[in-house]
Amino acid sequence: MTRSTTARAAFGIHSIDHFALDVPNLTEATHFLSAFGFELETQGQQLLLRTPASDHVWAKVQEGACKRLSYLSLNCFADDFAPLCAQIVQAGGREAAPVAQAAAEGFWFEDPDGNLLQLRVGAKTSPGFKPATRNGPPLPRLRGASFRAETPTARPLRLSHVLMFTPDIRAGIAFYEQALGMKLSDGSEGIVAFLHGRHGSDHHLIAFAQGAVKGWHHSAWDVPSVDEVGIGKMQMQRAGYAQGWGVGRHVLGSNYFRYVRDPWGSYWEYSADIDFVSPGSEWPCGDHPPEDSLYLWGPDVPDYFFENTEQENTRT
């Protein structure tokens, strides 16, 4: 059974600061990511991803031999940094060297799968409350939908969560709870597990799917309503990225989704109206049957959706 570890860690991270991805072709990445709605800046050998909503750099993409996570950067409060470092080491986190392209600040370590993580003191980028959405009926005498000619471009507001393949979901849950003070929100044995932050976060900040080996599956980007999820699907189809899954609605997390398949077989998700776990509150964590692990409504899951392409996309 997928379950939380029993003793709650004393300290916890509050946010993902950003992630860094290696991809085989930065020109292809630029086309895909600008179509998705990001504001891109080239800095040295990296693409920096921002949204129109803030100056925060949510992700960095750089050219590498194959598509893979380079590192995941996590933020904590200043008073929690030193005790969190000790907590990570006590939970079995192996100290590691920072990657060359990153600021060497903070504490660098590996999780049980060998994913490189950075702990640093930084801004709370996860929401402090459930953001308002535009879902729902319009006011009387106001149109709920725009005219086609006025269709806006879907643009992400912020990073919501990331999901990685792991060969051992239980070990992943245990480490992220004991080392990083996260908490299991919901899971489905042998399929998926979703973890939130204790200081207020979306239903999941970090999630895992069972795989034969570790790998990067998707990042999810919050948009204001289910309309932008559907509009995002259409704009990516027009840009040449028709493969993916959705529009649909998840059961676990409740968000509306459209997963757009990138040129390397991983996904960038438009997500709206995800559940929120308030600071200090207890989420009614459950171990759910497989039919609840994926969706409430939507199209069938494509055969390729859970392919782990980490090793396949090597630069030629």
In the complex, minimum distance from the CB of residue 137 to Fe ion, in angstroms, rounded to a whole number: 27
In the complex, minimum distance from the CB of residue 119 to Fe ion, in angstroms, rounded to a whole number: 23
Cβ-based nearer residue to Fe ion, 157 or 220? 220
- H-run or E-run covering 175: helix 169-178
Cβ-based nearer residue to Fe ion, 222 or 269? 269
In the complex, minimum distance from the CB of residue 123 to Fe ion, in angstroms, rounded to a whole number: 22
Binding to Fe ion (CB under 5 A) within 200-219 occurs at none
Cβ-based nearer residue to Fe ion, 161 or 214? 161
Q: What is the DSSP string of the chain?
A: -----SSPPS----EEEEEEEEES-HHHHHHHHHHHT-EEEEETTEEEEE-TT-S---EEEEE-SBSEEEEEEEEE-GGGHHHHHHHHHHTTPEE-PPPTTS---SEEEE-TT--EEEEEE----S-SS------SPPPTTS-SS--GGGPPPP---EEEEEEEEES-HHHHHHHHHHTT--EEEEEETTTEEEEE-TTSEES-SEEEEE-SS-EEEEEEEE-SSHHHHHHHHHHHHHTT---EEEEEE-SSS--EEEEEE-TTS-EEEEEES--EE-TTPPP--EE--GGGTT-SBSSPPPTTTT---TTT-B--
Q: Which stretch binds Fe ion (CB under 5 A): 15-23, 127-135, 230-238, 263-271?
A: 263-271
In the complex, minimum distance from the CB of residue 7 to Fe ion, in angstroms, rounded to a whole number: 28
In the complex, minimum distance from the CB of residue 108 to Fe ion, in angstroms, rounded to a whole number: 26
In the complex, minimum distance from the CB of residue 106 to Fe ion, in angstroms, rounded to a whole number: 26
Q: Which stretch binds Fe ion (CB under 5 A): 31-39, 57-65, 70-78, 264-272?
A: 264-272
Binding to Fe ion (CB under 5 A) within 269-298 occurs at 269
Among 91, 220, 252, 277, binds Fe ion (CB under 5 A): 220
Q: How many of the chain's residues bind Fe ion (CB under 5 A)?
A: 2
Q: Which stretch binds Fe ion (CB under 5 A): 64-72, 77-85, 267-275, 296-304?
A: 267-275
- Partnered with residue 61 across adjacent β-strands are 21, 47
Q: Which stretch binds Fe ion (CB under 5 A): 8-16, 41-49, 268-276, 281-289?
A: 268-276
Cβ-based nearer residue to Fe ion, 93 or 246? 246
Cβ-based nearer residue to Fe ion, 22 or 269? 269
> Which residue's Cβ lies closest to Fe ion?
220
Q: At what angle do helices 26-36 and 226-238 cross, to 10 degrees?
A: 140
Binding to Fe ion (CB under 5 A) within 135-164 occurs at none
In the complex, minimum distance from the CB of residue 151 to Fe ion, in angstroms, rounded to a whole number: 24
- What residues line the site for Fe ion (CB under 5 A)? 220, 269
